[in-house]
Amino acid sequence: MPEAAIPVLKPNVSQQEALRVFSSPGPLALYWTLRRGPLQRIADVYVPFWLYQASYQSNRNRMQRWFALDAVSGSLDLFEFPKPPMGDALELVETRNFLQPALADSQALERVRDKVLRIVFQQGFFKLRGRQLEIERHAGLFYMPYWLAFYGGRGLVRCRVMDAVRRRIEGAKATAFFEQWLAA
């Protein structure tokens, strides 16, 4: 894959911090070493996201929230922003480690609608008035940074995923997402 300059949301985790988390001593590191093998290396990877504005009536208030959906499969967790990420929140990164958007607009809209409805209902089903949820995609594409840790040996390599913005280790869904990309 050729190298390109892509707009990336600034990460909150450096390579050294990610390495420290993935290799830190303790029960979790021991579990990964025993189950998957030793830590081999880490790499940064960037996933494309589209930005959506969700508007709905909650009680007497008109709510407007900003969500980002991954443009590859729509399967990763939504990101929520207080305002659209622009300007100083983004940086250009020269890299080969980025995924291409692959999700059709209609599928993306359906997935973001389902996920936003789930979020709104979790905050109180009866708050949503009029059953009207308006979702609008905003122009542009930006990338979210992730750290992948590769474990293994003897020809079998598995990965662990860290969200470099939220500073958290992701679960099985994100691991499967990246392992599928790596296998392709």
pLDDT tens track for 68-122? 999 999 999 999 999 999 889 999 999 999 999 999 999 999 999 999 988 888 8
> What distance in Å separates the CA atoms of residue 127 and residue 19, rounded to the nearest whole number?
43
Q: What are 148's two structure tokens? A: 């992948």
What pLDDT is stored for residue 50 in this prediction?
97
> Using the 8-state DSSP alphabet, how is residue 155 labeled?
T
Q: What is the pTM of this model?
A: 0.89
- The distance from CA 130 to its chain's CA centroid, rounded to whole angstroms, is 31
Q: What is the mean pLDDT of residues 132-156?
A: 89
d(CA 82, CA 148): 27
State the DSSP H helix or E strand holding residue 64, giving kind and residue range, or none if neither: strand 61-70
User: Which of the four pLDDT bands, split at 50, 70 and 90, describes residue 139?
Assistant: confident
Q: Is 183 helix (H, G, I), strand (E, B) or coil?
A: helix
Smallest CA-to-CA distance from 56 within 123, 118, 117, 115 is with: 117
User: Do the bridges between strand 128-153 and strand 168-169 make them parallel or antiparallel, or are there none, so unpaired?
Assistant: unpaired
Look over the chain and give the mean of its residue pLDDT values, rounded to a whole number: 89
Integer distance in angstroms from the first to the last C-alpha of the chain?
12
Percentages helix, strand, coil for the chain (3-state, rounded to 5) are: 30, 45, 25
